[in-house]
Chain A
Amino acid sequence: MTRDRLAAYLPTIAVAVAVLLAWELLVVAFDIQQFLLPKPSAIFAEFADQVGLWLAPDERSILFESSGATFWEAIGGFVIGCGGGALVALITSRWTVLSEATMPFAIAANSVPIIAFAPIMNNWFGITNPASKMAIVAIIVFFPTMINTVRGLTLVDARQLELMRSYAASPGEVLWKLRIPNALPYIFSALRVASALSLIGAVVAEFFGGPRATLGVYITQEASAFDFAKAWTAIMMASIIGIGFYLAVLLIERRLMPWHVSFRVE
C-alpha cells in the first residue's frame, strides 16, 4: 500500500528535484547574481539557519515569528470572512427577494481588487494592528463564500423540493435536511479558493506596511536590503502555509462529505 503510494508520487518528486537541479545549474552556468536569482542551495542554507535559530532556546527566528503572525492574520480573516459570507447567504437565501437584490452587488464586489483597500484598513485599524490585515482577508473571502453558498442553497433539484413538500416538511426541515447538505459542495469549493486567497491577501496587505515580524514586511525589507536568499525563504514559508491551509480544508471536506463525486472510491 505505502509502496504503491510512493510509486504514485515518484513522478511528482522527480519533477521537483529536476526543477531545483536545473535552477541551481542555470544560476551557476550563467553566473546569475544572487539579487536576481539566488541558488536553491543558498535558500535552503538560509532556511536551515532560521530553523536552527527557531529551535535554539535563547534565540529568535524573525522568519518563523513572521510566519506565525501572517498565519494567524490569514486564519482570522478566513474564519470571519467565510463565516460571515455563509451567514449572510443563509439569511438572504431565506427570502428570494433579498437574495436577488443582493447577489448582483456581491458578484460585482467579487470582481473588485479588494487588496486596494489595504491602506484604508491600515488607517481604520492601525498599521501594526493584525486586525487591519484580517479585515482585508475577511473582505476578500467574504464574497466568493457568500455567492457560492447562496447558489448551493437555492440551486436545489425541483423534484427533491417536491418530495419535501409531499411530506409537508417545514421550511426549517427543508433547510437542514435538503438545502444545507445540497450547499456543502458549493461552500467547500469556495472555502478551497478562500484558503489560498486568505494567505495572498494577508501577505500583500503587509506589503502596504505592518509590524516587523510578518512575512510581507519581511520580504519587502530583506529585498530592499539585497538579502534575497532571506526574501526567498519567506516566500517559501508563505507557500508552505498556503498549501498546508488548502490541504487542511480539503481534509475537512473529505471527512464531511465522503459521499461526494470527487471522493468516491469503488
Chain B
Amino acid sequence: MNAIEARGIQKIFNPGTDEAVVALQDIDLQVAAGEFLSLVGPSGCGKSTLMRLIADLLQPSSGDLRVNGKAPAQARRDRDYGMVFQQATLYDWRSVSKNVQLPLEVMGYAKAERAKRAQAMLDMVELGDFVEHYPWQLSGGMQQRVSIARALVFEPSVLLMDEPFGALDEFTRERMNFELLRIWQATGTTVVFVTHSIAEAAFLSGRIVVMTPRPGRITQVVSNPLPYPRDFHTRSDPAFHALVAQLRDLLRDAVGPTLAQARET
C-alpha cells in the first residue's frame, strides 16, 4: 500500500475573493511506504502547502488525498505521522527528555515507558547525554536533532519534514543529512522532505518531486540513480553531479529565463 496518494489535488487560498491564490494545481503523487521523497522548488511553488495538506493542517479545495489509505484527518487522529519544522519548535520550559516525551504524554503512555523511549530516541540522535539539558543550552543542530527525536518517538509510519535544516550552517547541515539517512534506514519510516536545496534533495532522496510556482504544480518526478547507503563519497560521484545538473535545468526551464538571459534573446 502507498503511504501517501494524492489525486487531482487543488488548493486555493481565499477562494472567491480578489486575493484568491492558486497554491496547488493538478497534484498527482504516490509515495511508497518506506520511501524517502523530497519536494524541491523555489518559494511559492506550494511544497510546504502540499506537506501541510498531508498533515491535515490545511484542507485541499478539491481532489482526493489519502495517508495510509485514510483521510488525512483520520491519519492525524491515528498519529500516523510525525512533523519536523524549520525551527526546532521545542518548548523552552521542558528539558530535552521532557520535550521528546511530549507526544507520548498526549498519547497517554505510562511514565516509565515515556522516559525509556525518550532515552532510546535521544541515544539514536546521539544526544543521550543531554536529557536533562534545556533547549537554550543546545546548539541549533542539536535542537533540531531533539525535534527529530520528538517526531519519531511514537514510531509514526510517516515523517514529514519542512525544510528541517534550512536554518543550519552548511557543515551542520551536511552532518544532519548523514544522520537523517542513518535514522531513516534504522526505522524504515516513510520520509517526505521539503527543501529548496537541490543538492540536499539529490543527496537524501530516492525520488525528487520538482515543483514550480504560479500556480504550484509538479513539473517532474525524478528517480535518483544513486544507491543507498550513501556516504561521504556520494557527493563527488559523477552521477550525483549529473542529477544536480538535471534538477537545476528542470527548475530553470520551469521558472523561466533570468533577466540576463531575457535581455540576450
Asked if B103 and A167 sit within 8 Å, CB to CB, the answer is yes
- Is there contact, CB below 8 Å, between A166 and B83? yes
Which of B76, B91, B105 sits near A165, CB closer than 8 Å? B76
Asked if B76 and A169 make an inter-chain contact with CB atoms under 8 angstroms apart, the answer reads: no
Whether B149 sits at the interface, judged by CB under 8 Å, is no
Interface check B136, CB cutoff 8 A: yes
Q: Are B93 and A259 in contact (CB under 8 A)?
A: yes
CA distance A177 to B82 in the complex (A): 18
Within 8 A of B (CB), among A145-160: 157, 159-160
Considering the chains assembled together, what is the distance between the CA atoms of A166 and B93 in angstroms? 20
Knowing A173-B106, A177-B106, A259-B134 touch, does A163 contact B83 (C-beta < 8 A)? yes
Q: A178–B87 contact, CB under 8 A? A: no
Tell me whether A177 and B105 are in contact in the complex, defined as CB-CB below 8 angstroms, given that A259-B136, A264-B136 are known contacts: yes
B87 touches A166 (CB 8 A): no
Q: Knowing A166-B81, A167-B106, A168-B79 are in contact, say whether A160-B89 is a contact too (CB < 8 A).
A: yes
Residues of chain B within 8 A (CB-CB) of A169 are: 106
- In the complex, which residues of chain B have a beta carbon less than 8 angstroms from the beta carbon of A167? 79, 102-103, 106-107
Pairwise interchain contact B89-A157, C-beta atoms closer than 8 A: yes
Against B, the Cβ 8 Å flags (1 = close, 0 = not) of A247-266 are: 00000000001011100100
- Give which listed residue, A159, A166, A260, contacts B92 with CB less than 8 A: A260
Are B57 and A168 in contact, CB atoms less than 8 angstroms apart?
Answer: no
Contacts of B77 in A (CB 8 A): 168
Give the size range of B's interface with the partner.
20 to 34
The range of chain A's interface size is 20 to 34
Please classify the interface of chain B as helix (H, G, I), strand (E, B), loop, or mixed, using the class held by over half of its residues.
loop
In the complex, whether A119 has a CB less than 8 A from a CB of chain B is: no
Please, how many angstroms separate the alpha-carbon atoms of A157 and B85 in the complex? Answer: 12
- Alpha-carbon distance between A165 and B89 when the two chains are bound, in angstroms: 14
Question: Which chain B residue shows the least CB distance to A258?
Answer: B134
Given A166-B55, A166-B81, A257-B93 in contact, is the A159-B87 Cβ separation under 8 Å?
yes
Task: Give A184 to B56 CA distance when docked, in angstroms.
Answer: 30
**A contacts with B: majority SS:** helix
CB–CB A166/B89 < 8 A: no
- CB B246 to nearest CB in A, in angstroms, measures 33
| Chain A: minimal CB distance from B94 (Å) | 8
Q: Can you name 20 extra interface pairs (CB under 8 A) apart from A166-B83, A167-B106, A257-B93?
A: A159-B89, A160-B89, A160-B91, A163-B83, A163-B85, A165-B56, A165-B57, A165-B76, A166-B57, A166-B82, A167-B79, A167-B102, A168-B79, A169-B106, A173-B106, A177-B91, A177-B105, A177-B106, A259-B92, A259-B134
A259 to B101, CA, bound (A): 18
Q: Does A164 contact B (CB under 8 A)?
A: yes
Whether A211 is near chain B, meaning CB under 8 Å from some CB there, is: no
Instruction: Identify which of residues 65-103 in chain B touch chain A, using a CB-to-CB cut-off of 8 Å.
Output: 76-77, 79, 81-83, 85, 87, 89, 91-93, 102-103
A257: min CB distance to chain B, Å: 6
**Which chain B residues (198-230) contact chain A, with CB distance < 8 Å?**
none
Q: List the B side residues contacting A260 at CB < 8 Å.
A: 92
By a CB distance below 8 angstroms, the chain A residues around B89 are 157, 159-160, 163
